[in-house]
């Protein structure tokens, strides 16, 4: 946090207070829908784990209902409503929606910066959804979801943060009152009772809110190309990691514990790669000493290479990606969360 920038944050807070007051007082209207809608969002600027938590909900619901995911499609170079298909690219729909589409081919994925219009368009589809997951729509007050799921990082609880530009919050702390469920993400895998108690006390949830804790589970390296498929991972000593995500440090820490040498190249979140970027990445990989080395990127970054000419430039190097999933720290809490969602839908 940079408290010298606090005056600018106060000005931003005034704008947000006015906006929320207009909606809370009913001057600006929020629209509810007959189809179940679940919003997954946060108060901070990225890095809280919206994508893996959305994927958790997809896995929970996809065999029980016709699931649709509606996203803004952050970083795309298009506008309006677009329904994803097998030929979609990250430039058309954004990297996260493309990831949902490629990982779960039995769901509907759409993008629209106007979430209300997006829901209307989905409801008019020939195969209308039974439930719509609103990815990163917590600040989109024009729509009133049936369930609001708010995410906050274990090591950066929103209560300790400040509004941008002094901090990382893009919305007021009091906006958390709209959440039905608060999930503390990226928690330690082994969470001690007194640490959990301290976080719960800090959040100070309302009586109608449920608080849960999840942690990241890296699923192991997955080969992207034939060169990677022919690579014996057990013999590898060095990793060259490139990625453009909001918080790469948990992944960096994971790889450091697995390999002797880790070299990293970071880009801005949702960065669209160009030829010069690929040159830098491949040169960086070539500069890693030794032959027992691999190149690794995230699933989200891979989406920005999929269906592009850039992916072919990696065909002679062992390119891997690393899927992640989230798990609840407590099995009983997991059952409670699942039942809350399933009963609503």
Domain regions of the chain by residue span: 3-217+327-344, 222-322
Residue 234, phi then psi, degrees to nearest 5: -60, -25
**149 touches 176 (CB < 8 A):** no
Say what the pLDDT of residue 11 is: 94
Q: How many residues does the chain have?
A: 345
SS3 category, 235: helix
Show the DSSP H helices in the chain as ranges. Answer: 6-24, 50-61, 90-93, 95-103, 115-123, 193-203, 226-229, 249-258, 275-287, 299-303, 331-344
pLDDT of residue 298: 94
Distance of alpha carbon 250 from alpha carbon 221, whole angstroms = 15
pLDDT recorded at residue 74:
87
Of 144-148, 151-155, 245-249, 251-255, the least confident: 245-249
At 2 the pLDDT is 76
pLDDT at 246: 84
Cα 115 from Cα 120, distance rounded (Å): 9
Span 222-322: which CATH code? 3.40.50
Distance of alpha carbon 111 from alpha carbon 25, whole angstroms: 29
What is the CATH number that goes with domain 3-217+327-344?
3.40.50.300
Q: What is the mean pLDDT of residues 278-296?
A: 94
pLDDT band at 47, cuts 50/70/90? confident
Instruction: State yes or no: cis peptide before 345, omega within 30 of 0.
Output: no
**pLDDT tens digits along 199-237:** 999 999 999 999 999 999 999 899 999 999 999 999 999
Please determine, for residue 113, whether its predicted confidence score (pLDDT) is greater than 80. Answer: yes
Q: What is the pLDDT of residues 305-336, one digit of tens each?
A: 987 788 989 999 999 999 999 999 999 999 99
* pLDDT at position 329: 95
Q: Which pLDDT does position 278 carry in this prediction? A: 94
Predicted local confidence at residue 24, as pLDDT: 94
pLDDT (mean) for 151-166:
94
- Residue 269, pLDDT > 90, answer no
pLDDT for res 338:
98
Given this chain, do its domains 3-217+327-344 and 222-322 carry the same CATH topology? yes
Instruction: Please tell me the pTM assigned to this model.
Output: 0.92
**Of 143-152, 242-251, 273-282, which gets the smallest average pLDDT?**
242-251
Q: What is the mean pLDDT of the chain?
A: 93
């Amino acid at each position: 946090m940079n408290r010298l920038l606090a005056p600018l944050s106060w000005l931003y807070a005034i704008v947000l207070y006015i906006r929320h007051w207009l909606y809370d007082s009913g001057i600006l209207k929020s629209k509810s829908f007959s189809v179940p809608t679940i919003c997954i969002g946060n108060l901070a600027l990225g890095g809280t784990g919206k994508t893996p938590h959305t994927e958790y909900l997809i896995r929970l619901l996809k065999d029980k209902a016709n699931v649709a995911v509606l996203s803004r499609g952050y970083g795309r170079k298009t506008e309006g409503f677009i329904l994803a298909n097998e030929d979609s690219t990250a430039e058309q729909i954004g990297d996260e929606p493309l990831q949902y589409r490629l990982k779960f081919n039995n769901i509907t994925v759409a993008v629209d910066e106007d979430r209300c219009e997006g829901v209307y368009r989905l409801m008019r589809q020939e195969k209308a959804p039974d439930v719509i997951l609103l990815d990163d729509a917590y600040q989109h007050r024009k729509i009133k979801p049936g369930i609001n799921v708010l995410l906050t990082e274990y090591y950066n609880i929103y209560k300790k943060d400040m509004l941008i530009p002094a901090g990382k919050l893009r919305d007021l702390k009091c906006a958390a009152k709209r959440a039905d469920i608060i999930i503390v993400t990226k928690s330690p895998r082994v969470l001690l009772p007194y640490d959990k108690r301290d976080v719960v006390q800090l959040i100070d949830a309302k009586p109608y809110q449920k608080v849960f804790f999840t942690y990241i589970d890296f699923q192991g390296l997955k080969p992207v190309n034939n060169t990677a498929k022919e690579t014996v991972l057990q013999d590898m000593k060095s990793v060259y990691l490139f990625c453009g995500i909001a918080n790469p440090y948990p992944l960096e820490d994971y790889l450091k514990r697995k390999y002797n040498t880790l070299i990293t190249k970071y880009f801005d979140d949702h960065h669209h790669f160009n030829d010069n970027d690929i040159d830098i990445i491949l040169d960086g990989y070539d500069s890693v000493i030794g032959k027992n080395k691999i190149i690794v990127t995230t699933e989200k970054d891979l989406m920005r290479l999929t269906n592009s000419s850039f992916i072919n430039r990696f065909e002679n190097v062992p390119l891997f990606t690393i899927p992640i999933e989230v798990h609840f720290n407590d099995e009983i809490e997991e059952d409670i969360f699942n039942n809350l969602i399933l009963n609503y839908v």
